[in-house]
Chain A
Amino acid sequence: MSATGIGAAVRRKEDQRFITGKGQYTDDISRPGETRALFVRSPHAHAKIKKIDTAAAQKMPGVVAVLTGEQLAADKIGHLICGWMIHSKDGSPMKMAPHPAIASGKVCYVGDPVALVVAETLAQAKDAAEKVAVDYEPLAAVVDPAKAKAGAQIHEVAPGNTIYEWHLGDAKAVDAAFRSARHVTKLDIVNNRLVPNAMEPRVAIGEYDAGNDSLTLWNTSQNPHVARLVISAFIGMAPEHKLRVIAPDVGGGFGSKIFIYPEEVACLWASKRTGRPVKWTSDRSEAFLADAHGRDHLTHAEMAFGPDGKILALRAKTIANLGAYMSTFSSSVPTYLYATLLSGQYDIAHIYCEVDAVYTNTVPVDAYRGAGRPEATFVVERLIEVGAREQGMDPAELRRKNFVKSFPHQTPVIMTYDAGDYNASLKKAMEIADVKGFAKRRRDAARNGKLRGLGYSTYIEACGIAPSQAVGSLGAGVGLWESAEVRVNPTGSVEILTGCHAHGQGHETTFAQVVADRLGIPIENISVVHGDTDKVQFGMGTYGSRSGAVGISAIVKALDKVEAKAKKVAAHMLEAAERDIVFKDGKFTVAGTDKAAAWGDVALNAYIAHKFSGQELEPGLKEGAFYDPTNFTFPAGCHICEVDVDQETGETRIVNWTAVDDFGTVINPMIVEGQVHGGIAQGVGQALLEGAVYDKDGQLVSGSFMDYAMPRAENFPPFNVGTTVTKCPSNPLGIKGCGEAGAIAAPAAVINAITDAIGSEEVTMPATAQTVWRALQKANRLRPAAE
């Protein structure tokens, strides 16, 4: 391993600009003649729009335009779409309701845009927005997903507010297995709704160039090419080649910036109508109402055990709340990204899952860090932990007994696990966490009035989404390969153009490490270009921990081509046969001789083309590749959480955290550890602190940081992080992906620890002090007085 190659903890190149305030985020960009946009949003969860009067607003100082949904429709701007088709059990397609960028006729959630004010300054836009008079006729709001089917119908296309009733697996075989079970564990689970809250709020700038009849969108996107494709092909804003999408530095996404949002469409449209650049910057309060939320599942799940503790079958029935409209990838999250992971790390012969997706009058719900896999892991890891307790078995032992031990392993829910060693990560985690010493620590804690608990989460996830044919057969509207171009300059420096997009992951460092490792050149001589559809070839963007497994694989494939071409050039330079050229440590040599050419010389020769005939060998050194994976990747591991619960207040404090993950090949262990830390923090946030709360009228009552608790450093002990490695067999470097593991593993580990501490399973997320206190009260009441 070199100092900067694969496996080296290289400091992040991009941090120089990020931590010195030199980053260029979308809001840092100002266009000549720019105007500011402000959205007038619905204060009602569900209402008819009887009339919108914009006359007074139009007359306000500085106002350039006041635009409504009717004008949007008149200009034939298409609706936002959900790009993954799911069919119900009965074969009917999902009920996708029309979703205009600006509401027309009715509003479906608090925050639904009803008008767009464009003014010279933001203050003027705010003043004018107050003069937009909207006459609403409020309708009954549907808030509780469990009651959505009986609620007021939100969209004409969806009777019973039902989007689909989907299922996966063999119900009959599962029922038979349950009938033969010695023990059945049953749980009702709420997977709480989360607000993503990336540090950088969303921003969009639309700019129309009348001279070229073209549009440019600067936005906070995780996948600018997909945004361009959708805005062009489905929304019809401009032909694809006349629309440029630039996503510059982006300050965190966690999924929430994958989607194509109303504001981006509206800013482009408004720019075209006004002839001025139109910029919208979300503020934090607006982000709570305008960014897609995450999770929000209600699940009843059961696990059947045989006499020896062997899991015979699992079944789950989930209601997934997708909110008021179907966001871009919303349909896939509670289906193929969820039910396909219900086998966990275990060899389970029979699994059946039913998912009803419903509309409610709430913010649309879509992928959020982990997207479906945290929900699946929570179901499986709660079931096995509770199953162990109910059967008087050690939870680690029960897991061990049921682990998948040979690979490849075909689950009953589509996935083929390719490699792993679940016992190894469990064993290592138990050693690091000193599980042996837990009983003593528990006694010591009890002396201080604390209830100590320990919880496991042996999670698995599917990353590297995904083989295009496979996802196509499951309903995806796009392929999920990735692209790369390696441009070698005449001086030997290299630019990597990637279809991935970095918004905190450190691609500029890790991608450069891969190239440095391969070409033997300093990482300073490598730059990574991404995020601009005019610069970079079509790519699918970054989400689902795919940039390493899929994006880097495309780079490796392009590097193969570069090396092959460079060898041809070197052969001409060194007057040797191409097959005798050996490339190692940045040097081309002729096997068995001392003849050599340095990387830089070969690059220069490729461009000056003096040593070979340009007819025989094309000049230049630039290669592209599209890499389509052959399987998902399957990161897995074991997290162990140890908590102290204050008996009097119910407050939970995490006292130890151990994470042992198998991510396959690690490019940069420092960056990976950072990803693990961040993931755990978000997972613990879900478990202990975060929860979007709506009142019965559909008002988001946890709509600010005064009411919505984000995790803070003070909520965590130092993390003990370790790794085990089984390489992924399906991609060239053996990478599995690490971006979501913490968020997937953590919630179950926390809740398993708390329920272990208090001896009651009745703890819902977020496990606030009050929630735990109530569970304690109830458990104490139920306990025999003698105890």
Chain B
Amino acid sequence: MYAFSFHRPTTVRQAVNLLAKHEDAKLLAGGHSLIPVMKLRLASPPVLIDLSRVEGLSAVELKGRSIVIGAMVRHADVARSKEVREHLPALAEVPGAIGDPHVRHAGTIGGSIANNDPNADYPAACLGLGATIVTSKRKIAADDFFTGMFSTALEPDEIITKVSFPIAKKAAYQKFKHPASGFALVGVFVSKRASDIRVAVTGAGANGVFRVKAFEEALAKRFAPKSLDGLSVKPDGLNDDIHASAEYRAHLVGVLARRAVADAIKR
């Protein structure tokens, strides 16, 4: 690790000002992606802005027909949140499947989606539920937020403050874990609200999380696993590495989507 300066603001405003002032600053929101690469000297941000003391980012609330989660809420706290488990249990499963207990007690939802790792779980939940990402500046629909591998619509001086998830009657997440890292080799989040059926896939796309329109259209006719029979995604543009070929990932997308629908129906 190289030397860096460390700031610990207590308000969003302070954090935004620091971010605006220090061009190469990085936000610390759990640190489970950032700190390891810093330790390996693969990243060397000169300034770290720790968000752990910022007020107002740590609540999980039921607001009308939405679950609103503060950006600094840790994975473990979402997984065991009474509100989430009662009203949107599929969402509680997502952080429960991340990493190991150490990771789940340090990593945060804001940190995860701002990083937009192509194998991360939360992006699938956000896109799969049609969440709204609330920032220090504006509200961004999940469909517009994830713009590519490790990239988002966030501007350089913009900080995520909360994520609002509309409650879906039927929803489920199916994850095929990479046996080494625990990341999603492929993860599929499906949801059904009155007007909106979503199938979001993480782990498979070379550009990160994406929706599968063909699956959504088939499920719109009838929300059942059978509706997806014979449907698949094309391997083109999917990740292909030492762990899984694009072809296998494409196959898993179909399998996991059918399983997620089956789970969602059982709820």
B-binding residues in A (CB < 8 A):
123, 126, 285, 648-649, 651, 688-689, 693, 701-702, 705-710, 768-770, 773-774
A450 vs chain B, min Cβ distance (A): 14
* A770 in contact with B179 (CB, 8 Å): no
Query: Which A residues are in CB contact (< 8 Å) with B194?
Result: none
Most buried by B among A126, A285, A705, A707: A707
**B46-54, B78-86, B122-130, B237-245 - interface stretch:** B237-245
A701 to B241, CA, bound (A): 10
* B41 in contact with A709 (CB, 8 Å): no
Given A649-B255, A701-B242, A707-B243, the answer on whether A285 and B180 have CB atoms closer than 8 Å is no
Given A648-B255, A701-B242, A707-B243, the answer on whether A768 and B179 have CB atoms closer than 8 Å is yes
B195 close to chain A: CB less than 8 A: no
Most buried by A among B1, B40, B248: B248
Count: A-B pairs, CB below 8 Å: 37
Between-chain CB contacts (< 8 Å), 5 pairs: A702-B242, A708-B180, A709-B179, A769-B176, A770-B245
Which chain B residues numbered 229 to 267 have a C-beta less than 8 Å away from chain A?
A: 242-245, 248, 251-252, 255
* A707 in contact with B41 (CB, 8 Å): no
Most buried by B among A689, A705, A770: A770
Query: Which B residues are in CB contact (< 8 Å) with A702?
Result: 242
Query: Which A residues are in CB contact (< 8 Å) with B180?
Result: 689, 705-710
A-binding residues in B (CB < 8 A):
1, 40-41, 176, 178-181, 242-245, 248, 251-252, 255
A145 to B242, CA, bound (A): 19
A363 vs chain B, min Cβ distance (A): 17
Complex A-B, nearest 10 residue pairs according to Cβ-Cβ distance, in ascending order: A709-B180, A709-B179, A706-B181, A648-B255, A770-B248, A693-B242, A770-B244, A689-B179, A707-B180, A701-B242
Query: Which B residues are in CB contact (< 8 Å) with A769?
Result: 176
* B179 in contact with A707 (CB, 8 Å): no
Name the CB-closest residue of B to A651.
B176
Query: Which B residues are in CB contact (< 8 Å) with A648?
Result: 255
Query: Which B residues are in CB contact (< 8 Å) with A707?
Result: 180-181, 242-243
Beyond contacts A689-B180, A705-B181: 15 other A-B pairs, Cβ-Cβ < 8 A, are A126-B41, A285-B40, A649-B176, A649-B252, A688-B179, A689-B179, A702-B242, A707-B180, A707-B181, A707-B242, A709-B178, A709-B180, A710-B180, A770-B244, A774-B248
B128 vs chain A, min Cβ distance (A): 20
Query: Which A residues are in CB contact (< 8 Å) with B176?
Result: 649, 651, 769
* A773 in contact with B179 (CB, 8 Å): no
A773 to B249, CA, bound (A): 11
Query: Which B residues are in CB contact (< 8 Å) with A123?
Result: 1
A126 to B38, CA, bound (A): 13
Query: Which A residues are in CB contact (< 8 Å) with B252?
Result: 649
A648 to B252, CA, bound (A): 8
A649 to B176, CA, bound (A): 9
Query: Which A residues are in CB contact (< 8 Å) with B244?
Result: 770
Most buried by B among A285, A689, A769: A769
B156 vs chain A, min Cβ distance (A): 28
Query: Which B residues are in CB contact (< 8 Å) with A285?
Result: 40
A421 vs chain B, min Cβ distance (A): 38
Query: Which B residues are in CB contact (< 8 Å) with A126?
Result: 41
A645 vs chain B, min Cβ distance (A): 14
Name the CB-closest residue of B to A706.
B181
Name the CB-closest residue of B to A693.
B242
A702 to B121, CA, bound (A): 22
Query: Which B residues are in CB contact (< 8 Å) with A710?
Result: 180
* B248 in contact with A773 (CB, 8 Å): yes
Query: Which B residues are in CB contact (< 8 Å) with A649?
Result: 176, 252, 255
Given A285-B40, A649-B176, A702-B242, the answer on whether A773 and B251 have CB atoms closer than 8 Å is yes
Query: Which A residues are in CB contact (< 8 Å) with B181?
Result: 705-707
B253 vs chain A, min Cβ distance (A): 11
A723 vs chain B, min Cβ distance (A): 31
A212 vs chain B, min Cβ distance (A): 39
Query: Which A residues are in CB contact (< 8 Å) with B243?
Result: 707, 768, 770
A534 vs chain B, min Cβ distance (A): 37
A682 vs chain B, min Cβ distance (A): 15
A463 to B255, CA, bound (A): 47
Query: Which B residues are in CB contact (< 8 Å) with A774?
Result: 248
Name the CB-closest residue of B to A647.
B255
Query: Which B residues are in CB contact (< 8 Å) with A705?
Result: 180-181
B263 vs chain A, min Cβ distance (A): 15
Name the CB-closest residue of B to A126.
B41
B179 vs chain A, min Cβ distance (A): 4
A651 to B248, CA, bound (A): 12
Query: Which B residues are in CB contact (< 8 Å) with A689?
Result: 179-180
B74 vs chain A, min Cβ distance (A): 21
A709 to B252, CA, bound (A): 20
Name the CB-closest residue of B to A777.
B251
B2 vs chain A, min Cβ distance (A): 8
Name the CB-closest residue of A to B180.
A709
Name the CB-closest residue of A to B258.
A648
B68 vs chain A, min Cβ distance (A): 32
A123 vs chain B, min Cβ distance (A): 8
A285 to B41, CA, bound (A): 12
A708 to B181, CA, bound (A): 8
Query: Which B residues are in CB contact (< 8 Å) with A709?
Result: 178-180
B39 vs chain A, min Cβ distance (A): 9
Query: Which A residues are in CB contact (< 8 Å) with B248?
Result: 770, 773-774
A688 to B180, CA, bound (A): 12
A648 to B255, CA, bound (A): 7
Query: Which B residues are in CB contact (< 8 Å) with A688?
Result: 179
Name the CB-closest residue of B to A715.
B179
Name the CB-closest residue of A to B39.
A283
A541 vs chain B, min Cβ distance (A): 32
B242 vs chain A, min Cβ distance (A): 5
Name the CB-closest residue of B to A649.
B255
Most buried by A among B41, B176, B243: B243
A702 to B181, CA, bound (A): 11
A774 to B176, CA, bound (A): 17
A708 to B242, CA, bound (A): 10
A306 to B178, CA, bound (A): 45
Name the CB-closest residue of A to B244.
A770
Most buried by B among A648, A701, A774: A648
A770 to B252, CA, bound (A): 10
A710 to B182, CA, bound (A): 11
A689 to B248, CA, bound (A): 17
A652 to B1, CA, bound (A): 39
Query: Which A residues are in CB contact (< 8 Å) with B40?
Result: 285
A298 vs chain B, min Cβ distance (A): 19
Query: Which A residues are in CB contact (< 8 Å) with B255?
Result: 648-649
Query: Which B residues are in CB contact (< 8 Å) with A701?
Result: 242
A689 to B180, CA, bound (A): 8
Name the CB-closest residue of A to B186.
A649
Name the CB-closest residue of A to B2.
A127
A126 to B1, CA, bound (A): 9
A774 to B244, CA, bound (A): 11
B97 vs chain A, min Cβ distance (A): 12
A274 to B96, CA, bound (A): 52
B152 vs chain A, min Cβ distance (A): 22
A56 to B102, CA, bound (A): 40
Name the CB-closest residue of A to B3.
A123
Query: Which A residues are in CB contact (< 8 Å) with B1?
Result: 123
Most buried by A among B178, B179, B180, B248: B179
A196 to B176, CA, bound (A): 26
B105 vs chain A, min Cβ distance (A): 18
A706 to B180, CA, bound (A): 5
Query: Which B residues are in CB contact (< 8 Å) with A768?
Result: 179, 243
A651 to B41, CA, bound (A): 36
B41 vs chain A, min Cβ distance (A): 7
Name the CB-closest residue of B to A701.
B242
B226 vs chain A, min Cβ distance (A): 14
Query: Which B residues are in CB contact (< 8 Å) with A773?
Result: 248, 251
A453 vs chain B, min Cβ distance (A): 20
Name the CB-closest residue of B to A650.
B248
